[in-house]
A and B are shown apart, each in its own frame.
Chain A
Amino acid sequence: MEQFTQLTSRLMPIPTENVDTDQIIPARFLKVTDKEGLGKVCFCDWRYLDTVAKLSDADAARPNPDFVLNDERYAGAKIVLAGDNFGAGSSREHASWALMGTGIVAVISTSFADIFRSNALKNGLLPIIVSPETHHKLFEMVESDPNVEVTVDIENDTLRLPDGTTETFPIDNFSRKCLIQGVDQLGYLMGFKDQVEEFEKDHVVYGAPIE
C-alpha cells in the first residue's frame, strides 16, 4: 500500500449524490479472484459508450466524452470531489480497488456510506468529509477553473482549498496512524491473540459447531 501524508492534486468532480458501489464497479466485474485491472472498469457504465461485458473488453470500448474520467481537463487528478453519501450500497471492496486502479487516492464528500468508508481506509484511499459550505465552494471553484488544486495534509487533518483557506476534516487517530505509518491492521489484530483465547474460554456460542 502506497502511503502519503501530504498530497496536492487537482479535483475530478462527480456531483451526483448517492453514488453507489454498483456504479463505481458493476457486479459483472466481480467475477475475479484477484484485485488487478479493475481500474479500467471503474464507473464502467458511465464511462464507456459501448457495453463492456468483460474486463478484457474495456480497452476496445469507446469512451463517453461527457464523463469526467474521459475529460482531458481533469486528466491526472488524484482526488474525486463527489456528491453527498458517496459509496452507498454493496460491501464490495472492489470499489476501492477500482478507484485506486484509476489513480484516485482520496474522495471528498459531505458523507460516506459506512462500509465503503471502512474499506477505503484499509486500502489507503482517504475519505475526506467536508462541510456542505466547503463542498459547495469546491464545486464552484473547480467548475470555474479545472486546474485549481487542493492540498490534503493527513498529519494535521487539514484540507487546503484553492483560495488558500484551510478546513480540518474528521479522521480518527487510529485511521490516521494507519495511513501515515502504513499500520497493518491484521497484524495489529493478531497482537490480541492471547486476549481472544482468554475471551473464548467464557464466551458461549450455542448449538452444534459447523462441520
Chain B
Amino acid sequence: MSDGAKTLFEKVWDRHVVAEEPDSPSVLYIDLHLIHEVTSPQAFTGLRNRGLTVRRPDRTLATMDHSTPTTPHHMPMEDALAAAQLKALEQNTGQYGITLYGLGDENQGIVHVIGPQLGLTQPGKTIVCGDSHTSTHGAFGALGFGIGTSEIEHVLATQTLLQRKPKTYEVRVDGQLRPGVSAKDIILYLISRIGIGGGTGHVFEYRGEAIESLGMEQRMTICNMSIEGGARAGMIAPDDTTFEYLAGRKHAPHGKEWERALADWRTLPTDPGAEFDTSFFINASELEPMITYGTNPGMGMPITGRIPRPEDMSPEQRGTLEKALEYMDLRPGESLLGKDINVVFIGSCTNSRISDLRLAAKMLEGRKKAPHVRLVVVPGSTAVKHQAEREGLDKVFKEAGAEWREAGCSMCIAMNGDQLEPGQYAVSTNNRNFEGRQGKGGRTFLASPVSAAAAAITGQVTDPRKLFERELAAV
C-alpha cells in the first residue's frame, strides 16, 4: 500500500472502531440499525430477560416486510403465526421507543428499500439488519451487512458489534452494458464466475466505468447480491449520482449540514494507489442477459448458453450439479431458451424499486402475459407502490394480466402464502434460487426485470433482446 492510501471500506471501518483489544475482535459502532418482524423477537426477549434498554432508539428503525401479506393490508390476517409475530414487533418497538413503520403506513416496505428511500442510508455509515441483504446499502458507500439475532440484541443494547475486519475485494467492471443487459446481469455474471463462496471473508468494492454510469437503484441491485457471492458487504464509492439521489430526502442532511456532509462524503472514495487483497475484472461490453439454471445463485449462465455437463466439472462440483439438475428437472447440455415456465415474479429487495417497475412496465406496455403464466408484481415499499400508481404503471401491469400487490418480500422468501407450487418453474427477479426458496418443490430461474418481462409474455425463457428490440432501443 502506498503511503497510507486506503480503500473506501477501510475508511468507513476506521471511522467506526470504538475499541481494539489485543486478541479480540474490534468493537464497531453502528450508525443505523434496521429491524423487521422475523429475526428480532428473540433479541428483544433477551434484552427483556437481562433488564436492558435500547441504547439508541433514534438510530433504530423497524418495519414489517418478511411475513406480511401482499393482499390489501387493512384486511385481517389469515396466518395466526405471522400475525403474532407482527404483534410482537408492535409490542417490542412500543416498549423500547423504536419507530415502527407498520402495515398501512406510507413508509412501510422492505427494509432495504425504505432505508434508502427515507435518506437514512448515507455514505460512510455503518448499517446493520438481521437480514443478509443488508449489503444493499453499500451502494451509497455505506458499510452495510447482515447480522444474526444475537447480534441484533448486541446492537440494541450497545449500538456496537464485535467484528473482525474483513479483507477487501475489488470487482472492476469496465466498458458499457449493451441494450437488454442490466445491473442484475453484472452481479449474476460475477457470482457465476467466483461461486457463492467466492467472496467469503471479504467486502466487495464495485468500481469502474460501468458501475459509475449506473443509477442508484441499479447499484443497489448489485450490492444487494454481494452476499450471494459470499461477501457480507459490497460497496460503491459515493459520487454525484449518490448525492443527487439523497438530496432532499427525509433523513438526509439539509442546508449547511448538507454542505458539510457533502464535503465529508467526497473524501470517502478509495485513494489512488490503495491496494485490495483480491481483484476480479469484468468487461461489461461482453456481458449478455444472465439466467440461473441450478439451485444456488452461482449456477448461472448467459441466457443463450447451455447447462454445463457434470463430466466437465470437478468430482465435488459434479455431485452438486447433478443434485441441482435433478431438483430442477433439467438436463446437462440443455438450453433454457423456450423452456415453459409457470410464474413470473417481479419484486424483492433486489429488483422492486421504481426504476425496476418502470423498466418492466415499458416492456409489458400494450402486451399480454401468456395465458398459462401467473405474473406477480410486488413493489418494494408502499411509497414505491403509490409512486408507480401515480405514473399509471399499475394499469400497464394489470392490463398485461399481472397481479399488482401490496409491498413486501413476498415470493422471494415465500413466508406469506405467495409461493410456487411443487414442480412449478418461475423466472424471478429476486436473489435466491435455493431449493424450496420460493415454495417447497418450486424451481427458480433468477434473471433481470427485463428478462422476467420477456418470459411473462411468451410463457417461456426468452432472450429479451429479440422480443424487446424496439423498446430497448428507446431506453
Point out the residues of chain B lying under 8 angstroms from A173, CB to CB: 23-24
Q: In the bound complex, what is the Cα–Cα distance between A200 and B122 (angstroms)? A: 18
Q: Within the complex, which residue of A17, A185, A190, A203 is in contact with B150, where a contact is CB–CB below 8 Å?
A: A185
The digit string for A184-201, where 1 denotes a CB below 8 A from any CB of B, is 011011101101100110
Point out the residues of chain A lying under 8 angstroms from B253, CB to CB: 206-207
The stretch among A58-66, A87-95, A143-151 that forms the contact with chain B is A87-95
Point out the residues of chain B lying under 8 angstroms from A113, CB to CB: 197, 200, 230
A110 CB to closest chain B CB (Å) equals 9
Q: Within the complex, which residue of A54, A90, A96, A209 is in contact with B59, where a contact is CB–CB below 8 Å?
A: A209
**If A28-B415, A118-B148, A207-B251 touch, does A93 touch B434 (CB 8 Å cutoff)?**
no
The stretch among B39-47, B169-177, B208-216, B280-288 that forms the contact with chain A is B39-47
Point out the residues of chain B lying under 8 angstroms from A211, CB to CB: 58, 99
Point out the residues of chain B lying under 8 angstroms from A96, CB to CB: 148
Q: Within the complex, which residue of B55, B130, B150, B251 is in contact with A208, where a contact is CB–CB below 8 Å?
A: B251
Point out the residues of chain A lying under 8 angstroms from B25, CB to CB: 172, 174
B335 beta carbon closer than 8 Å to chain A: no
B275 beta carbon closer than 8 Å to chain A: no
Point out the residues of chain A lying under 8 angstroms from B160, CB to CB: 189, 192, 196
A102 beta carbon closer than 8 Å to chain B: no
B75 beta carbon closer than 8 Å to chain A: no
**If A45-B436, A114-B200, A192-B18 touch, does A33 touch B59 (CB 8 Å cutoff)?**
no
Q: In the bound complex, what is the Cα–Cα distance between A22 and B297 (angstroms)? A: 13
A123 beta carbon closer than 8 Å to chain B: yes
Q: Is the CB of B45 within 8 A of A34?
A: yes
Q: Is the CB of B201 within 8 A of A114?
A: yes
Point out the residues of chain A lying under 8 angstroms from B162, CB to CB: 174, 185, 188-189
Q: Within the complex, which residue of B42, B146, B432 is in contact with A33, where a contact is CB–CB below 8 Å?
A: B42
Point out the residues of chain B lying under 8 angstroms from A114, CB to CB: 166, 200-201, 230, 232
Point out the residues of chain B lying under 8 angstroms from A185, CB to CB: 150, 154, 162
Q: Is the CB of A115 within 8 A of B320?
A: no
Give chain B interface residues in 120-136, CB to chain A under 8 Å.
Answer: 120, 122, 125, 130-132
Q: In the bound complex, what is the Cα–Cα distance between A200 and B153 (angstroms)? A: 19
The digit string for A67-102, where 1 denotes a CB below 8 A from any CB of B, is 000000000000000011100111111101000000
Give chain B interface residues in 334-361, CB to chain A under 8 Å.
Answer: none
Q: Within the complex, which residue of B61, B132, B257, B440 is in contact with A89, where a contact is CB–CB below 8 Å?
A: B132
B428 beta carbon closer than 8 Å to chain A: no
**If A28-B415, A33-B45, A90-B132 touch, does A119 touch B164 (CB 8 Å cutoff)?**
no
B252 beta carbon closer than 8 Å to chain A: yes
Point out the residues of chain A lying under 8 angstroms from B59, CB to CB: 205, 209-210
The digit string for B180-212, where 1 denotes a CB below 8 A from any CB of A, is 000000000000000111001100000000000
Q: In the bound complex, what is the Cα–Cα distance between A206 and B238 (angstroms)? A: 15
Point out the residues of chain B lying under 8 angstroms from A199, CB to CB: 18, 29
Q: Is the CB of B440 within 8 A of A203?
A: no
B261 beta carbon closer than 8 Å to chain A: yes
Q: In the bound complex, what is the Cα–Cα distance between A205 and B252 (angstroms)? A: 10
A182 beta carbon closer than 8 Å to chain B: no
Q: Is the CB of A196 within 8 A of B29?
A: yes
Q: Is the CB of A18 within 8 A of B197?
A: yes
B359 CB to closest chain A CB (Å) equals 27
Q: Is the CB of B58 within 8 A of A85?
A: no
Point out the residues of chain A lying under 8 angstroms from B50, CB to CB: 186
Q: Is the CB of B296 within 8 A of A51?
A: no
A122 beta carbon closer than 8 Å to chain B: yes
A137 beta carbon closer than 8 Å to chain B: no
Q: Within the complex, which residue of A18, A89, A190 is in contact with B158, where a contact is CB–CB below 8 Å?
A: A190
Q: Within the complex, which residue of A16, A22, A26, A174 is in contact with B24, where a contact is CB–CB below 8 Å?
A: A174
Point out the residues of chain A lying under 8 angstroms from B57, CB to CB: 210
Q: In the bound complex, what is the Cα–Cα distance between A207 and B115 (angstroms)? A: 13
| Count, A-B residue pairs, CB within 8 A | 216
Tell me the nearest residue of chain B to A184, going by C-beta: B50
Q: Is the CB of B61 within 8 A of A17?
A: no
Q: Is the CB of B157 within 8 A of A209?
A: no
Q: Is the CB of A192 within 8 A of B158?
A: yes
Q: Is the CB of A174 within 8 A of B23?
A: yes
Q: Is the CB of B200 within 8 A of A85?
A: yes
Q: Within the complex, which residue of A18, A84, A190, A207 is in contact with B252, where a contact is CB–CB below 8 Å?
A: A207
A157 beta carbon closer than 8 Å to chain B: no
Q: Within the complex, which residue of A111, A188, A196, A206 is in contact with B18, where a contact is CB–CB below 8 Å?
A: A196
Point out the residues of chain A lying under 8 angstroms from B122, CB to CB: 206-207
A19 CB to closest chain B CB (Å) equals 10
Q: Is the CB of B197 within 8 A of A209?
A: no
B250 beta carbon closer than 8 Å to chain A: yes
Give chain B interface residues in 1-60, CB to chain A under 8 Å.
Answer: 15-16, 18-19, 23-25, 27, 29, 31, 38-39, 41-42, 45-46, 50, 55, 57-60
| A-B contact list, 21 entries, CB within 8 Å | A18-B296, A22-B437, A23-B434, A27-B415, A85-B230, A91-B146, A114-B200, A118-B151, A119-B148, A185-B162, A193-B158, A199-B29, A200-B29, A203-B15, A204-B264, A205-B31, A207-B122, A207-B261, A208-B250, A209-B59, A210-B58
Binding site for A on B (CB under 8 A): 15-16, 18-19, 23-25, 27, 29, 31, 38-39, 41-42, 45-46, 50, 55, 57-61, 66-67, 79, 81-82, 84-85, 88, 99, 119-120, 122, 125, 130-132, 146-151, 153-154, 157-162, 164, 166, 195-197, 200-201, 227-228, 230, 232, 250-254, 257, 260-261, 264, 296, 298, 316-317, 319-320, 323, 413-415, 422, 432, 434-437, 440
Binding site for B on A (CB under 8 A): 15-18, 20, 22-23, 26-28, 30-35, 45, 51, 54, 83-85, 88-94, 96, 111-115, 118-119, 122-123, 172-174, 185-186, 188-190, 192-193, 195-196, 199-200, 203-211
Beyond A23-B434, A186-B150, A200-B159, list 14 extra A-B contacts (CB 8 Å): A18-B296, A31-B38, A31-B67, A34-B45, A51-B422, A89-B228, A91-B147, A111-B200, A115-B232, A118-B147, A122-B148, A173-B24, A186-B50, A209-B59
